[in-house]
Structure 1
Amino acid sequence: MKSSLPPIVENDPYLLPYADVILRRQELVRQRQSILCRGRKLSEIALGHLYFGLHKTPKEWIFREWAPNAMAIYLVGDFSDWKIDEAYSLTRKLYGNWEITLPLKTLKHGQHYKLFIKWEGGEGYRLPAYGNRMVQNEETKVFDAEIWAPSHPFQWKNPDFEPSSTHPLIYEAHVGMSAEEGKVSSYNEFTAHILPRIKKDGYNTVQLMAIQEHPYYGSFGYHVSNFFAVSSRFGTPDDLKHLIDTAHGLGLAVVMDLIHSHSVQNEMEGLGLFDGSGSQYFHAGARRLHVAWDSLCFNYGRPEVLHFLLSNCQYWLDEFKFDGLRFDGVTSMLYLDHGLGKDFTDYRMYYDGAQDENAIAYLTLANKLIHETHPSAITIAEEMSGMPGLATPLEEGGYGFDYRLAMGIPDYWIKVVKGLPDEQWDVGNIYYELTSRRGDESTISYAESHDQALVGDQTLFFRLAGAEIYTHMDMGLDNLIIDRAIALHKVIRLITLTTAGSGYLNFMGNEFGHPEWIDFPRKENNWSYLYARRQWSLAENSKLKYQWLQTFDNQLIALAKKSDLFSEKYTSLRHSDTPNQVLAYSRKDYLFVFNFNHAQSYTNYPIPVEPGTYKGVFTTDDLEFGGQGRVDNRVKHLTIGGTNSFGLENLMLYLPTRTGLVLKRL
């Protein structure tokens, strides 16, 4: 008899007590889809961007908006001399929708406009919820909607691009802070200067932050006001399309950092009080305000909100040809208390009724939609609680994300580097933390992302090097602190990538140990761009040691691609010697051996492996990476000794201090 339990439960006995909750959540997804679709496909209803907002047809302009609490709505703008005119009054339709049609000659590409909305007890100017272009007046700082209807639509040169790998090597990037100069960089500058760098470095995926329009630059793009609008700080919608098209021509996939976990509170720029009702898109009462983020929380149980967000997913994939979406703040969405202050050490914490099952239903529907309409697109969840099933296929009882970010790993590295002296680094614990993941999920590991470098924190390399980074990065200067920092930075990145489940991520500049932190212009720093840029010249200066870390990162990424390392999901632990701080594991035909000891090198150290011949590929101690060149990679190593009960022999190796070795079985 066939089991009625979802495979996720059959594969994990610890989930059995919660099978009813899992089944109930699946049923809720079916109910939500039924209510939304009424017999149609998700792809047929997630098209709000083609219905709402301003559209030019061969015969007329047509504008629609959903504002159920409104009593009257007017278009105002350049065309009306910014006056409220009955000729531009919208007509109320069914279900709280409003509409107006205008002759073609009335509106022109590039004109500015807004909505003026009246409701019982109030009125105000608003930006259209589905508006695809917002621009800010440099003097007044006020945002307007701009009519974006160029006479010559963008022509894609690579319309049929398909990602070359299912194992993303992600280069996380922020367009605005990608210039070396103290300024806001542009899509076109990123296309010309940064994309070739990413290609040269070997990464296969670009993850772009801060694409959706946000009124405050210092929010890093996470306080979104206009969900369908490309951030105009960096250029036009066509400029972004050119960036993506160029990336595709270089063989690079492009993933967008999508913000659906919350919205900025702003009323004139955003959705905070769009039609006079604070609960049009968001929760009412205590659940409306996110207590930690000073932002508004979407009501995922309202069909119109689901329609808005699902259409937003479809819009970015269809209109801009993004190759995937990285969903930000998923933990905050999953839990009624946003997961704040919890350590999630017990399965009950995932099924105790403190979860927002409407949000879970939305995320599941979003994944279903994306994979139905764009089969090659990937979805990535930024989630730290470890909710089971998040990155498990829908048909197995999961929520359908392709990947989960292994958020605990960078936090773990900070804890180790910040809190433990070198001699207390526990290699057994390191291996456990880097490899502990659910077998039914694909994960993406990283040593640090943008999160670890925001103001008030430090990049990994800066934390290792400290103030010496300012005085002893010259090639001709010897310094033990810098030597340690460089050695450990390489070892940490090597072990993080080679133990990763299915992919790897790096934030721009961190590959060469970018110093200091990230801090956007704000009142508190006198609106300085000093820390909101990337100092590429550090890595390109032949007189500085940053070049060693850059060269090492290139070799690291090349290894991941050449070896197809992630096609074998798991590593095999070969040796863990905590007292001596030696660790070894294998993956595919490769052997990785680490000596974390800061003072003791080992000669003829035995590592149990399959019998055969092994040759060095590279070590973190190689001269080209700023090491001491203590290992000769040309030497072939033959296993010796009789095989043990597991059929293994010993590989006798020289293991220098603070070094990681990569060997391949011939």
Structure 2
Amino acid sequence: MNSVKTYTLFTDHDVYLFKEGRHYKLYSKFGAHSVEKDGVKGVYFSVWAPNAKKVSVIGNFNNWNHKDHILFPRWDGSGIWEGFIDELTWGTLYKYAVETARGDILEKSDPYALSWEQNIQAASLVSTTWYEWDDQEWMENRGKKNSLQAPISVYELHLGSWMRDEDEPKRFLNYRDIAKKLVPYIKEMGFTHVELMPVMEYPYDPSWGYQITGFYAATSRFGSPQDLMFLIDELHKNNIGVILDWVPSHFPGDANGLYRFDGSHLYEHEDPRKGFHPDWKSHIFNYGRNEVKSFLISNAMFWLDRYHADGLRVDAVTSMLHLNYSRNEGDWEPNIYGGNVNLEAKAFLQEFNTAVYKEFGDSIITIAEESSDFPMLTKPVHDGGVGFGMKWMMGWMHDTLDYFKEDFVNRKYHHHKLTFASMYMYNENYMMPLSHDEVVHGKASLIYKMKGDEWQKFANLRTLYVYMYTHPGAKLLFMGDEFGQTSEWNFTQSLDWHLLEYPVHKGLQELVKKLNHLYTTESAFYENQFEKSGFEWIEADDLENSVYVYLRKGKRRGDILMTVLNLAPKVLDYKIKIPSGTHWEVIFNSDDEKYSGSGVEAEILEEKYEGEHQKFMIITIPPLAGIILRQKKDKKYKLHRIKYKR
């Protein structure tokens, strides 16, 4: 006897939108929902399996028997199966037993489940995202914090390895325990946002969360949905934004996951040239299928809505947009125009960006991890763009790290690796990433990418950070890089926090803290960070000395800062052209002793005119150092020397 009663949360309009690919709140319909029918409390289940012969609910309430609780197929041909089971409560374990057209029984976890078991069975749990939020002030004002005209300095972290239990190093901290340690740390360091590597449920720890099976479930490794909400709430209450990594590019072939969900290629593209990823051995969503688009865009909405996320960093966009990504000739099929652009994926990304910005306005950010020169990625959809708020500046990252790996004597031959970004930096809205991908798989930690002895390595890295923080664009730094983690990132253990006992590591951390402060308080660094008017080269071609000089400009007249980089291991008394009538003061020196520098003075030696209108200053630049100068606004300014303690 079937113990399931008829019930529905779907209206005809819901089904219409779902089939059209334009239902963006499916999480309020699909999945397991606690409801009441005829005065009896229970759970309503619904799942999409259009090619199934039969779908039943199995769980710890019926000994995983697929014959007792059979769902009803909707009459409208939508492929939705649904029904009500009374007296079930929160915490009930369940799966769907899907009988395929061939008669096979597949045990599938719920694609819309809010929680999953953390074991090899990975059953779904009847759960809820109810939470009493206390971040109203942040939510009302976050548009100012997430604006392209605001400073955005992101701390990227992996929750499983940022910090672990001190007494049991193999044990993960709970989201709430992490909040107690992470929130004051981010606040002290001055980062404006955190970016959490995927918090959606995933079965395989070495995937770092990028092989997702439970797209709507907060991973139970670190606690419940409410525990994650507490972490986000605490960050918001301390004026810290939260960006979540989101992975609509692929999913693993786990037996209980999305792959061949009803015995057919339901979520993945059936053509392996479009549906299988050769690098990750995973499966690629069918972006041309309307129901799949509804699933994915609803998923994006879910994290922005239910979890109050301030932004989504979209993973592996390059692989989505290019049909020939990581494929040999003959292993991919051109689009209808003969090109390599996946037109369905592009249209999906445009729909995604249009939908989330329409729903949340400019209070949120979407960020593309995209490594090619795909055009107009951050331009509006109505102008033919893809509609992202920002994209990672991968070219800048590669050129910068390549330069800092060079021997000092060879740097003059690679000088323009650090100037080349200015040729394209306003083509898109860029975020400069020094991410987790750069400190794994034998690539070495950032500090060991630097050339020279220990002092030179730290001096190089300090100057690299000065370059990044004073360059146009938003910033992203991976956890541990702020204090010079010496080993590559290891997802199985905590960061090496004990390194902060050593002055060079503590000094580097103090430098990052100071740079965050300067970036977030000096409007010249962020007001025009995506505008051509915000940047000007003063010296870009001094190959012999490895010196770079540039200006950053705010919106107010006279709001100007100058950055001077000396990337050679020698002290220079250097002549710099300055605007006529201006006077300058040093406000930052990466070689200061408090950052474990050598303490060489950053000293303005002389200001003078050569001719009627051309003005210069002579300044001492410490070795392997970056200094920042501010244009003085006092018309009665008298030249004086800025002394740093030796």
TM-score per shorter chain, which class?
0.7 to 0.9
Tell me the CA shift for residue 81 of structure 1. 2.1
Paired residue for 2:294?
A: 307
Paired residue for 1:213?
A: 201
Evaluate the alpha carbon distance shift between residue 574 and residue 58 of structure 1 in structure 2; reply closer, same or farther with a 3 A threshold.
same
Evaluate the alpha carbon distance shift between residue 352 and residue 460 of structure 1 in structure 2; reply closer, same or farther with a 3 A threshold.
farther
Secondary structure, in 3 states, of the residue corresponding to 1:365? Answer: helix
Paired residue for 1:517?
A: 488
Secondary structure, in 3 states, of the residue corresponding to 2:287? Answer: coil
Match of 2:609 among 641, 659, 666: 641
Deviation string, structure 1 residues 80-122 (Cα, Å, up to 9, x no partner): 12222334444354334333332542x1111111111101222
Structure 1 spans left out of the alignment, 5+ residues: 1-34, 343-347, 466-479, 521-528
Evaluate the alpha carbon distance shift between residue 315 and residue 603 of structure 1 in structure 2; reply closer, same or farther with a 3 A threshold.
same
Computed over aligned residues only, the root mean square deviation of the Cα atoms, in angstroms, reads 2.7
CA distance in 2, matches of 1:654, 1:461: 26
Evaluate the alpha carbon distance shift between residue 405 and residue 643 of structure 1 in structure 2; reply closer, same or farther with a 3 A threshold.
farther
Tell me the CA shift for residue 514 of structure 1. 1.0
Match of 1:371 among 344, 357, 365: 357
Tell me the CA shift for residue 648 of structure 1. 4.2
Paired residue for 1:5?
A: none
- Report if aligned partners of 1:391, 1:401 keep a CA contact under 8 Å in 2: yes
Paired residue for 1:55?
A: 33
- Report if aligned partners of 1:258, 1:327 keep a CA contact under 8 Å in 2: yes
CA distance in 1, matches of 2:338, 2:609: 55
Evaluate the alpha carbon distance shift between residue 656 and residue 609 of structure 1 in structure 2; reply closer, same or farther with a 3 A threshold.
farther
Deviation string, structure 1 residues 300-334 (Cα, Å, up to 9, x no partner): 01111111111111111111110111100000000
TM-score of the aligned structures, taking structure 2 as reference length: 0.85
Deviation string, structure 1 residues 49-76 (Cα, Å, up to 9, x no partner): 1111111224353211111111001101
Aligned residues: 586
- Report if aligned partners of 2:243, 2:312 keep a CA contact under 8 Å in 1: yes
CA distance in 1, matches of 2:343, 2:69: 45
Q: 1:147-158 to 2 correspondence within 5 Å?
A: 147-149=126-128, 153-158=130-135
Q: 1:186-585 to 2 correspondence within 5 Å?
A: 186-268=174-256, 270-338=257-325, 353-375=339-361, 376-418=363-405, 420-426=406-412, 428-446=415-433, 448-464=434-450, 481-501=453-473, 503-520=474-491, 529=492, 532-539=493-500, 541=501, 543-564=502-523, 565-569=525-529, 570-576=534-540, 577-585=542-550
Tell me the CA shift for residue 434 of structure 1. 3.7
One-letter code aligned to 1:114: K
CA distance in 2, matches of 1:455, 1:183: 24
Evaluate the alpha carbon distance shift between residue 116 and residue 314 of structure 1 in structure 2; reply closer, same or farther with a 3 A threshold.
same
One-letter code aligned to 1:641: Y
Deviation string, structure 1 residues 380-402 (Cα, Å, up to 9, x no partner): 00001021110112233211111
- Report if aligned partners of 1:256, 1:322 keep a CA contact under 8 Å in 2: yes
Paired residue for 1:97?
A: 79
- Report if aligned partners of 1:214, 1:231 keep a CA contact under 8 Å in 2: yes
TM-score of the aligned structures, taking structure 1 as reference length: 0.83
- Report if aligned partners of 1:69, 1:275 keep a CA contact under 8 Å in 2: yes
Deviation string, structure 1 residues 233-280 (Cα, Å, up to 9, x no partner): 111100111011111100011011000011111122x11121011344
- Report if aligned partners of 1:434, 1:500 keep a CA contact under 8 Å in 2: no
Secondary structure, in 3 states, of the residue corresponding to 2:306? Answer: helix
- Report if aligned partners of 1:177, 1:183 keep a CA contact under 8 Å in 2: no
Query: What is the percent sequence identity of the aligned residues?
Result: 26
Higher percent of residues as helix: 1
Structure 1 residues 192-201 or 276-285, which shifts more?
A: 276-285
CA distance in 1, matches of 2:116, 2:184: 29
One-letter code aligned to 1:493: Y
Tell me the CA shift for residue 636 of structure 1. 6.1
Tell me the CA shift for residue 637 of structure 1. 6.4
Structure 1 residues 409-418 or 487-496, which shifts more?
A: 409-418
CA distance in 2, matches of 1:636, 1:605: 10
**Is 2:591 the partner of 1:613?**
no
One-letter code aligned to 1:596: L
Tell me the CA shift for residue 609 of structure 1. 3.7
